[in-house]
Structure 1
Amino acid sequence: MKLNRNDLCWCGSQQKYKKCHLQFDEKLEQLKQQGKIIPLHQMIKNNEQIEGIKQAAIINSGLLDYIEENIKAGMSTEEIDIMAKEFTAKYNAVCADYQYCGYPKHICVSINDVVCHGIPSENEIIQDGDIVNVDATTMFNGYYADASRMFMIGNVTDEAKNLVQNTKKALELAIDAIVPYQSCVGDIGKTIEKFAIDNGYSVVKEFCGHGVGLAIHENPYIFHFEPNEPTVTLVPGMVFTIEPMLNLGKADIFVDADDEWTVFTEDGSLSAQWEHTLLITETGVEILSK
């Protein structure tokens, strides 16, 4: 339905359309006339929603800071799960991973050849030389933020260290490549894939970034490789994650048949992942949680 200038804006701000998203929609129409794919209104967050997501992001980043201060060789991954549960509760937030699609724990802890979705356990002990991904999603007052970090424990090999650092670099290059109203999702994937291949790594294609904020997973789907299809243009108000997973060996993966969650590299090679929650603004990109 086409809105009149004095109607309430579609974004839910309770402001008149002419004072809220009218000019924005006019820009989108121009992009559409240029042949670009424009985002659905459902992908655009209003100011109130963005502020709510930012509050969740503060807690989510704080949780990862807390884990970074305490993670060490000799501790179990179950201890990290307990830390996540207790830290979020302290701020009246919750770990959004818990019971999401049946996931049994509050946070994901993935070590060495585990690509993602590692389930914390009191029997899994972090060792000297491990590289560990901790992936946290926090829900606060109905808003969500999502991020993950890599931690290098003790005496890590140069090969492992380079993988961790270059995976982060791939994420940073993808963020730097975003130009509001000009870039599309495919530009993110193209940037990550080129950097990975140039540095001798493979890109996991089965898991990608996603919209986030009002739910744990939303549109758009964020490719970490160059897709063979047109993709949506990135515009202000979009909130999503970029979370490249790079393998030291081949890209092939498999899911543990017993727990149906833990994802391993097929060849047993090391894997690394970094994830940020991002907001597209009029002038660039704001990192909300990292």
Structure 2
Amino acid sequence: MIIIKTDREIELMRRAGRLVGEALLEIKNAVKPGITTKELDRIAEKYIIKRNAKPSFKGYYGFPASICTSVNEEVVHGIPSENKVLREGDIISVDCGAVLDGYHGDAARTFAVGKVSPEAEKLIEVTKESFFKGIEKAVLGNRLTDISAAVQEYVEGFGFSVVRDYVGHGIGSNMHEKPEIPNYGRPGRGPKLVKGMALAIEPMVNMGRYNVKTQSNNWTVVTTDGSLSAHYENTIAILENGPEILTLI
């Protein structure tokens, strides 16, 4: 069942979303060659707790950290580590969630570490822009997969591929709610978009093929061909006048 949010619930989600956006800005400012992914995790956790919120991910199905840090060919669910040192030319996808007053915000960004290749820059840019192409379709009366199809069309137009095994999701008092939101597919399918839907839309885009696999830690997902992957996510609310992005600062 899709849980429709009241105006009051959307306002609570705005507060949680803003906090997540701010935490990601803190991380962006810290990303540089030589920093460990564990240090980024500490920065995020400290910021979230200071704002009287809790990290959504820590302990979720046993996940051991407050953010996911996925470097280069890692797609999602990378575990922060003292041994993972960022190097010039890396790209890092950071997924961050926080719960404040009972409601979650969830967002992800991919950052360049120092100077990266033009191809990596393009991957990051296309992944981000595909999100915005998708939410152009997030208007009342459209169908859920209108978003999905717009993301896929944009991404594949640049010769990149959309990950199929992981999808966006509804969000609210639970971090993961119905509906699932693929980043690919034919338009005109799925539930009709109505006022009060809250969705986490999150294109995951590979430079090579879309196939992925999970590493032996049972968390970190990587591209099977070793190609770079980028991730961009925001929590949005479907409102009368169009989508409102709750996690964009």
**Bucket of the pairwise TM-score, normalised by the shorter protein:** over 0.9
Q: Deviations over 1:2-34 (max 9, x none)?
A: xxxxxxxxxxxxxxxxxxxxxxxxxxxxxxxxx
Q: How big is the alpha-carbon RMSD for the aligned residues of Structure 1 and Structure 2?
A: 1.3
User: How far apart are 1:107 and its partner, in Å?
Assistant: 0.5
Residue among 218, 230, 246 paired with 1:260? 218
User: How far apart are 1:235 and its partner, in Å?
Assistant: 1.1
Residue 31 (structure 2) pairs with residue 65 (structure 1): no
Residue 80 (structure 2) pairs with residue 117 (structure 1): no
Q: What pairs up with 1:185-264 in 2 under 5 angstroms? A: 185-227=144-186, 230-257=189-216, 259-264=217-222
Residue among 120, 127, 130 paired with 1:167? 127
Residue among 251, 267, 279 paired with 2:237? 279
User: How far apart are 1:203 and its partner, in Å?
Assistant: 0.8
**Most deviating of 191-200 and 242-251:** 191-200
Structure 2 residue aligned with 1:104: 64
User: How far apart are 1:198 and its partner, in Å?
Assistant: 1.4
What is the one-letter code of the residue matched to 2:146? D
Contact kept, 8 Å, 2:20 with 2:105, in 1: the verdict is yes
Structure 2 residue aligned with 1:20: none
Q: Taking CA–CA contacts closer than 8 Å with sequence separation of 6 or more, which of the two structures ends up with the larger relative contact order?
A: 2
CA distance in 2, matches of 1:228, 1:93: 37
Contact kept, 8 Å, 2:145 with 2:185, in 1: the verdict is yes
SS in 2 for 1:200: coil
SS in 1 for 2:185: coil
Residue 9 (structure 2) pairs with residue 49 (structure 1): yes
What is the one-letter code of the residue matched to 2:223? T
Structure 1 residue aligned with 2:93: 133
Contact kept, 8 Å, 2:146 with 2:187, in 1: the verdict is no
CA distance in 2, matches of 1:158, 1:184: 35
User: How far apart are 1:58 and its partner, in Å?
Assistant: 1.4
Structure 1 residue aligned with 2:43: 83
Residue 108 (structure 2) pairs with residue 148 (structure 1): yes
SS in 2 for 1:260: coil
CA distance in 1, matches of 2:28, 2:188: 39
What is the one-letter code of the residue matched to 2:222? F
CA distance in 2, matches of 1:287, 1:274: 13
Alpha-carbon spacing, 1:279–1:46, altered in 2? closer, same or farther (3 Å): same
User: How far apart are 1:179 and its partner, in Å?
Assistant: 2.3
Gaps of 5+ in 2: none
Contact kept, 8 Å, 2:146 with 2:188, in 1: the verdict is no
Contact kept, 8 Å, 1:43 with 1:220, in 2: the verdict is no
**Most deviating of 243-252 and 192-201:** 192-201
Gaps of 5+ in 1: 1-39
What TM-score, normalized by structure 1, do the two folds share?
Answer: 0.83
Q: Deviations over 1:45-100 (max 9, x none)?
A: 01121111111111111101111112111000000111111111101101110010
Contact kept, 8 Å, 2:143 with 2:188, in 1: the verdict is no
Q: Deviations over 1:172-225 (max 9, x none)?
A: 1011122212x1111111111111211101110111110011101001111100
CA distance in 2, matches of 1:107, 1:277: 16
SS in 2 for 1:43: coil
What is the one-letter code of the residue matched to 2:123? L
Contact kept, 8 Å, 2:17 with 2:246, in 1: the verdict is yes
